[in-house]
Structure 1
Amino acid sequence: MTVGLVAVTGTSGRVGDAVARALEAVGWTIRGADLAPGPRTAIVGDLRDLRVRRALVHGADLMIHAAALHAPHVGRVADAEFRSVNVDATAALLRDAEAAGVRRVIYISSTSVYGNALVPTDRAVWVDEQLPPQPRDIYDETKLAAEALVAAASMPSVTLRIARCFPEPLPVLATRLLHRAVLLTDVAAAVVNVAAQDTVTGVFNIAGRYPFTRADGVALHDDAAAVIAERAPEVAAEFQARGWPLPKTIDRVYDSGAAMAAFGYQPTEAVLRLLREPRNGEAPTPSP
């Protein structure tokens, strides 16, 4: 798809703003919508409002839907509100986008939809798109329901299940980036790649570049530190230099191989980048 007008929901949030900035940088015209004001939010309002939805999608070539209630809202927001925001508003938005002639949809989902399937038994779980989701809470349920709506829409669509990407203490984040977290810049780059390729459809994991293979599953479960020392000695050395223990066990590894093959997604070596290129003593910011 050549660049044009892209309607982006959630542009005042971390993921939506990063995606909008990255698309803008390659020539897309951004029209953003969010409940809260933001530098790339042209329309401030609730997506459950017909006027907001129609103003957002009018004349748009592409729609990227990133707005949602997220995992931190579980237990603080009623389940009915989750369904209203994450499912009902998505259904209405898809109908209005179709009526407005939007040609393609990219939906920002989460690897959280795998839910209870992420719990290991005797080995680390290898998480690719063939792993059946087992939602464990209202967030997982509503994100998976929204994925189904997007897949059933008349417009071609891509769903990106993005890995963990919110700020955490540096030692925790460094460990997460070994197997289950992703940098925000990588998420934005993935969306830019998908937006540029009309023929790509389907569901894809968007995670980091990790040093493990599926065959490492048992060893990662039993003695992750030894596997890290073998597979990623530079990372092990960086941990040792800081006095941080390597994890004793790793419960899962996200696999972005399908996204790499389908649209050229190329995640960075995030752990070494995090540890070797601090910004005024702080880590580069990852995505949700």
Structure 2
Amino acid sequence: MRILLTGSTGWLGRFLAPRLRSAGHSVVGLDVAPGPDTQVIGSVADPAVVEEGFAHGIDAVVHAAALHKPDIVRYPEQAFIDVNVTGTRNLLSAAKAAGHDRFVFTSTTSLMISQTVRDEAGNAAVWLDEQTGPLAPRNIYGVTKLAAEGLCRIYANEHGLPCVVLRTGRFFPEDDDTLREPSGENLKANELLNRRLTVEDAADAHIAALTRAPELGFDLFVLSAPTPFSRSEVRELKSDAKTVIARHFPDAASLYEKRGWTLPTSIGRVYDASHAERRLGFRCQTGFAQVLDALRDGKPLPFAHDPGYTSPALAN
């Protein structure tokens, strides 16, 4: 198939484009910034840019372009509405008109995090899966991504366009824009316990979604590295995470100590990606166990860390 990949110059796009080609597809990249896999320069908010992309004889869309949480300090709310909501609608409308049988949308677990969840004020970790709700996104990023998910649902249910929504956990390479302790690599390693996946796994999940979309019709999946924890451990995770981690990974503390890292003392949320494993047939290949393997064997860490990374910017 000839795939229109939006966000082709971004962090996910640069891993996803070659994987799409390896799967036998040709790729037409669309992004606001030039890149090696980008043929159409412009915003999905502009119908003319979307029309230019579809002029390449597109068979399916993987829509990964978006303004993200770090962009809140760079752009006004209207820009988020234009790109994340109107842009998604432009692509869905064009895909419907072209008679497509699949559409894959990159969403975010961030929209599941209300201020209450973020504050982690309860006495147990919050277990987050596709049934979590009611949803109350805490910023314009989450609000617009949730609205875009709703558009995908409408186009699937009312217009017969099979849509798969992937709510991805964290896979960005840069440092967290709010947390300073622990340090970047240490934090990313910790998050593979409960809320992160690698960009490679995120890209592979999109390939799986593209393949399965026609038979799924509409479905929505939380994507994160497989958590070792169970729902029965949520109270202990909140009060004494180190003991729970030691139960699953007895040598984690000693390996971390040699690296000069710290394990979390409390974990306030856990993403459950088991629905993707059951229905999509996809399971992330990299998790916390692979981090420990790397520490144990003195090998490179199995995830990317780039404090200087900045996502492509909109044209002025």
Distance 1:13-1:280 versus aligned 2 partners, 3 A rule: farther
- Are 2:240 and 1:226 equivalent residues in the alignment? no
Q: AA paired with 1:150?
A: C
Q: 2:263 aligns with which of 246, 255, 261?
A: 246
Q: How far off is 1:85 after superposition? A: 1.1
Corresponding residue number in structure 2 for 1:20: 17
Q: 1:285 aligns with which of 297, 304, 314?
A: 304
Distance 1:99-1:269 versus aligned 2 partners, 3 A rule: closer
> Equivalents in 2 of 1:138, 1:266: separation in Å?
30
Moved more, 272-281 or 255-264: 272-281
Three-state SS of the structure 2 residue aligned to 1:74 is helix
Corresponding residue number in structure 2 for 1:152: 154
Corresponding residue number in structure 1 for 2:138: 136
> Equivalents in 2 of 1:224, 1:36: separation in Å?
42
Q: AA paired with 2:129?
A: D
Q: AA paired with 1:231?
A: H
Residues 175-194 of structure 1 aligned to structure 2 (within 5 Å): 175-194=190-209
Residues 109-124 of structure 1 aligned to structure 2 (within 5 Å): 109-116=107-114, 118-119=117-118, 120=120, 121-124=122-125
Q: How far off is 1:271 after superposition? A: 2.6
Q: 1:36 aligns with which of 18, 33, 36?
A: 33
Q: How far off is 1:226 after superposition? A: 0.4
Q: 2:68 aligns with which of 44, 67, 70?
A: 70
> Equivalents in 1 of 2:274, 2:197: separation in Å?
14
Q: How far off is 1:235 after superposition? A: 3.0
Q: AA paired with 2:29?
A: G
Distance 1:16-1:42 versus aligned 2 partners, 3 A rule: same
Distance 1:230-1:110 versus aligned 2 partners, 3 A rule: same
Q: AA paired with 2:167?
A: R
| Unaligned segments of structure 2, at least 5 residues | 176-183, 312-316
> Equivalents in 2 of 1:105, 1:286: separation in Å?
30
**1:165 and 1:286 in contact (8 A); partners too:** no
> Equivalents in 2 of 1:238, 1:274: separation in Å?
10
Q: How far off is 1:283 after superposition? A: 5.5
How big is each residue's C-alpha offset from its partner over 1:135-180, in whole Å with a ceiling of 9 and x where there is no partner? 1000000000011011111211010000011124111111111111
> Equivalents in 2 of 1:71, 1:186: separation in Å?
21
Corresponding residue number in structure 1 for 2:179: none
**1:178 and 1:271 in contact (8 A); partners too:** yes
Moved more, 42-51 or 138-147: 42-51
Q: How far off is 1:274 after superposition? A: 3.5
Three-state SS of the structure 1 residue aligned to 2:240 is helix
**2:201 and 2:286 in contact (8 A); partners too:** no
**Alignment length, in residue pairs?**
285
Corresponding residue number in structure 2 for 1:199: 215
Corresponding residue number in structure 2 for 1:237: 254
- Are 2:61 and 1:55 equivalent residues in the alignment? no
Three-state SS of the structure 2 residue aligned to 1:107 is strand
> Equivalents in 1 of 2:294, 2:240: separation in Å?
28
Q: AA paired with 1:45?
A: G
> Equivalents in 1 of 2:252, 2:284: separation in Å?
17
TM-score of the superposition, structure 2-length normalised?
0.84
> Equivalents in 1 of 2:206, 2:139: separation in Å?
27
> Equivalents in 2 of 1:93, 1:254: separation in Å?
29
**2:102 and 2:163 in contact (8 A); partners too:** yes
| Unaligned segments of structure 1, at least 5 residues | none
% identical aligned pairs: 34
**1:182 and 1:286 in contact (8 A); partners too:** no
Distance 1:256-1:280 versus aligned 2 partners, 3 A rule: closer
**1:235 and 1:271 in contact (8 A); partners too:** no
Q: 2:227 aligns with which of 196, 200, 210?
A: 210
**2:171 and 2:202 in contact (8 A); partners too:** no
> Equivalents in 2 of 1:24, 1:173: separation in Å?
29
Three-state SS of the structure 2 residue aligned to 1:126 is strand
Q: How far off is 1:57 after superposition? A: 2.6
